[in-house]
Amino acid sequence: MIQTYSSTIRRREMEAVLTCMVDEKIGPGEMTLRLVQTAKELMGCDGAVAVRSPAIALEYVLKAINLDKESAVMISALAPYWLYVTLEKLGYKVMILDVQEETALVSVETVEEAVKNGGRLLILSETMGILPDIRQYLALEIPVIEEISHSALSYYPAEYEEDSDKPAASADSGTSAGAGQESAEASKEEPSGRRAGMYGLYAILGMEEHDIVTAGGGALVIAPKRREWSPLKAIADQAPSTDFMPDMNAALAFVELKEFARNEKVRKELFTLFSRAVMSGRHKTFVRGQENNSTIYSFPLVLNSGFKDVKLYAQKKGIEVRQAFENSVIAFKQEELSTQCICANSLLLRCALFPLYPRLGQKDASRIVKVLSSLP
């Protein structure tokens, strides 16, 4: 059976983790610093902190922006469920917004209406690696936090730079969880504009099991500019060591970041192949406004038929298919949100996730193409 998800763990990743174990350096330490330094170089941010969970990352961000308790925070109905749970625990009011069916993203118009109804902060989840037109959200003049667990290392066109200043590198930035001398390998195709996560006040890059870059658990809290890095660094400096990502997890994420360009090239080739297979069928892929620049997160397909029929058909052919948004807010709160978030509910029920990852061999890729081109 070809599994829907598979972490891209090769010899280099295994050796990095084993080295930490052999050296008995398993807590937060040198590898955590190297991970943050590599992320800074690849993303162009001023500072970052590697923590043990996305929930801790969100807590740091909310402290850094000093958002009043009971403020209304806007999130997508298709955002990861941990966002909702964490906000509730911290005492914030959560405004859950519907999405556009074509992109699975919250529209600017929906956010604008929510702001009129009291929304104070937008956490923008860039679902399935699809980039929004970030300028339109920033034009609303509300604080924006980018959640880039699917869209990490995507980049915007150069013209997006016109109205914003480039983050400046600093000599001491990243010291709480991130100075070091490791130089990140440059991608063969240099990005023309800023990376995803570099437009909001902060960005959260989840590194859980099924995120685009995995540490096996954890997250990066990213400060694009020096002004945002200062309060984040102050919070990290006062935090207990149990907040920070252990070296074993950091070692895995470090290699994944270094290998990202190579892995992404394979993912894009597979995405092109699979897209051609469904081109003449009834089922659709999401619209990608920044198609060449966006990160490929698996292969979501919006079905024109029942999910169960497609799942059973694929299973008979030896391919596991899962609901694309099974871990989203609406998946856990469907009864409450189904009438309020009609498009998100529709995508929960009709969007199937097919296997797409660098470890797929030619034989397995061919099997998936055959299934995609003959779906009921």
Which tokens is 128 given?
């399935």
Distance of CA 349 to the CA centre of its chain: 21
Within the chain, all domains assigned CATH 3.90.1150.10 are found at 261-372
Q: What CATH topology corresponds to 261-372?
A: Aspartate Aminotransferase, domain 1 (3.90.1150)
User: Residue 277: left if φ>0, alpha if ψ -120 to 50, beta else—which one?
Assistant: alpha
- Is the pLDDT at 172 greater than 50? The verdict is no
- Is the pLDDT at 164 greater than 70? The verdict is no
Which tens digit of pLDDT belongs to each residue from 117-129? 999 999 999 999 9
* Alpha carbons 201 and 64: distance in angstroms, whole number: 10
CATH C-level class of 11-259: alpha beta
- Is the pLDDT at 14 greater than 80? The verdict is no
DSSP bridge partners of 101:
none
* Alpha carbons 251 and 263: distance in angstroms, whole number: 17
The pLDDT, as a whole number, for residue 161 is 65
User: Residue 368: left if φ>0, alpha if ψ -120 to 50, beta else—which one?
Assistant: alpha
Which tens digit of pLDDT belongs to each residue from 253-305? 998 898 899 999 999 999 999 999 999 889 999 998 766 688 999 999 999 98
Alpha helices in the chain (DSSP H): 11-22, 30-43, 54-65, 81-89, 108-116, 134-138, 226-237, 247-258, 260-278, 307-316, 329-332, 334-337, 342-350, 362-372
Query: What pTM did the predictor assign?
Result: 0.89
Residues in the chain: 376
User: Residue 275: left if φ>0, alpha if ψ -120 to 50, beta else—which one?
Assistant: alpha
Within the chain, all domains assigned CATH 3.40.640.10 are found at 11-259
Q: Please identify which residue in the block is written with the tokens 């892929």.
A: 285
